[in-house]
Amino acid sequence: MNAKSDVQLLREYAQDGNESAFREIVLRHTDLIYSSALRQTTSPDLAQDVAQSVFADLARKARTLADSLEQNSSLLGWLFRSTRFVALNQLRDGRRRQTHERELMEILSPASETAPEWDQIRSVLDGAMSDLSEQDRDALLLRFFKNQDFRAIGETLGVSEDAAQKRVSRALERLHAQFVRAGVTTTAAALSTALAANAVTKAPAGLASTLATNALSGSAIVPLAVAPVAKTIAMTALQKALVTAAVATAVGTGIFQARQSITLRDQVSALQQQQAPLLAQIEQLSRNYAEATNRLAIIGYENERLNSNTRELLRLRGEVPRLRADSQELARLKGGHSNDDEVLGDKTLLEKVRLLKERLEQTPKEKIPEIQFLILQDWITAAAECKLDSDDDFRAAFADLRGRGESAFLQMASTALSKFLATNDGQFPTEVAQLKACFDKPPSDEILERYKIVPANSIPFAGAPGDWLITLKSPDTDSQEWASRSGTGGTAGGPISGEMAVLARAMKAAMEAAPKINGIKGIRIEDIVPYLTTPEEKAAYQSLVDRRNAKTQAKGKDD
């Protein structure tokens, strides 16, 4: 049975007064809130004060929050932001007092050694986290602060396990970029290890129970008649310390204060001698715990990597028959030459195809799902047209392969579109997903979601027949493919030339300024002239006009 979400527990408290539900929320998140406050205030007492204020605020705002959040949402983001706000306010109001208290605490109980890299990360971690987007921050909080696996993160965020893993990776890269901008030198891998080992500090025993009791006693559910009493009970340790300090300051003035300081120094020295053996044991235990935590984190990452390798192995096994067929075809092609070691540049054709496939597997960001539609001839052509001596050569080859894969899919989409129109009285679909049943072999939803139905006049100068086009939502090159259907029943597809990339800004401005006619915006090539500002844009525009005029003249001669 799945545990209740944070919002479900908060609603039980807000609507039914169920204090056990609120205590469960506090128990879940005390370590995270305490750790964040401790990093920012560097004082255990202040960290406890911050945590108490955050949970008291949560209790007061329980009803409003419960009504504004989704049923399965987590309170991690809200709690993290509140901790940051309260900690900054306390630092701003009592920086000098905190400095003296921290110096005394360092004398009485020196902090255990931590990794030098963590010492750099700790001071800027919470500020960097606050600068992230809410989605990125929630992903990192769930992964490194709550130590959840990717499946649990996906369930909380409403995405798949793979999508959750990708979101965490992207968020970690953005957090790493924040550290680089702050002057902290580290790597993303080292950052992830440091977060897994040190992000959450175990709160003092019994703190969660104390926080829940104080928060509930000071919440909005307490009747107004007893509110002053509740506020007195909820007085923070910081406020009590301030009162005590004020009294001590009044008594300890003048000569007595000087003598008292000498006595305190002697007592501190004696305590240090008494505590030295205990401190050594505590430091050793802390180091052992940190090492064990690091090993556990490394084992977890290794386990994930092994699982990923297992999935990749199964996928590669499925590729064996196709690769064997490719190999046979390559052998047949090479057999047609007088020399089996014929070289293209510095590499044989077989070697270049192999290098191209291996490099593509190593750079998944260059892949698209339509790569699966490539045939052997596509790989051979891409390999033959590039030297593959540099990163730019490989990127050019990958762009060629992506374009061929997208073209292959759109050719299949054209066939599926013909079937759809034949069975729907010529009515063009409103979504590409409607064509799925019309493919000979239905493509995955991941591929279909990459394409959209758009009015033909929203892609100026495409020259495609018909009123509607099937095109990529986000083309990754300066060319774009489409599939459409003309009024006579024919299908067409084609590229938009390179000038379109140069004119994209002017076209967008012209389209935004164009009026709607029958609910649809459309522009002509001449409409973008007022928006041409650079020599490159004007040259690209003139090239398009010349090409159009040449086609018009050629058509007139044919007629």
- 137 close to 125: Cβ distance less than 8 angstroms: no
- 523 close to 457: Cβ distance less than 8 angstroms: yes
| Mean pLDDT, residues 318-322 | 69
DSSP secondary structure, 415-480, as one string: HHHHHHHHHTTTPPPSSGGGGGGGSSSPPPHHHHTTEEEEEGGGSTT---SSSEEEEESS-SSS--
Does the pLDDT at position 58 exceed 90? Answer: yes
Does the pLDDT at position 302 exceed 50? Answer: yes
Residue 187, exposed/middle/buried by CB under 10 A (0-12, 13-18, 19+)?
Answer: exposed
* Same structural domain, 371 and 245: no
- 27 close to 208: Cβ distance less than 8 angstroms: yes
pLDDT at 495: 40
Does the pLDDT at position 215 exceed 60? Answer: yes
In a domain, 126, yes or no: yes
Write out the two tokens for 46.
Answer: 């202040």
Residue 452 gets the label, from left (phi > 0), alpha (psi -120 to 50) or beta, of beta
Write out the two tokens for 316.
Answer: 């590669």
pLDDT at 135: 86
* Same structural domain, 246 and 351: no
pLDDT at 31: 93
In a domain, 91, yes or no: yes
pLDDT at 498: 60
pLDDT tens string 156-180: 888 998 899 999 999 999 988 888 8
* Same structural domain, 243 and 383: no
pLDDT at 527: 87
In a domain, 292, yes or no: no
Rounded to whole angstroms, the Cα distance separating 156 from 73 reads: 6
Single out the residue in 361, 386, 401 at which a domain terminates: 401
pLDDT tens string 143-159: 988 888 988 898 888 89
pLDDT tens string 247-285: 344 434 554 555 666 778 888 878 877 878 888 888 889
pLDDT at 243: 44
In a domain, 447, yes or no: no
* Same structural domain, 350 and 247: no
Does the pLDDT at position 347 exceed 80? Answer: no
Tell which residue, 141, 134, 140, 130, has the closest CA to residue 178: 130
Tell which residue, 410, 459, 408, 465, has the closest CA to residue 435: 410
Q: pLDDT averaged over the chain?
A: 77
Does the pLDDT at position 557 exceed 70? Answer: no
In a domain, 213, yes or no: yes
Tell which residue, 179, 170, 171, has the closest CA to residue 118: 179
Single out the residue in 357, 385, 401 at which a domain terminates: 401
Q: How many domains does the chain have?
A: 3
In a domain, 181, yes or no: yes
Q: Which domain holds residue 394?
A: 343-401
Does the pLDDT at position 227 exceed 60? Answer: no
- Residue where the block lists tokens 């606050």: 130
| Mean pLDDT, residues 510-530 | 79
pLDDT tens string 398-456: 888 998 888 889 889 988 988 898 898 888 898 999 999 999 999 999 999 999 888 76
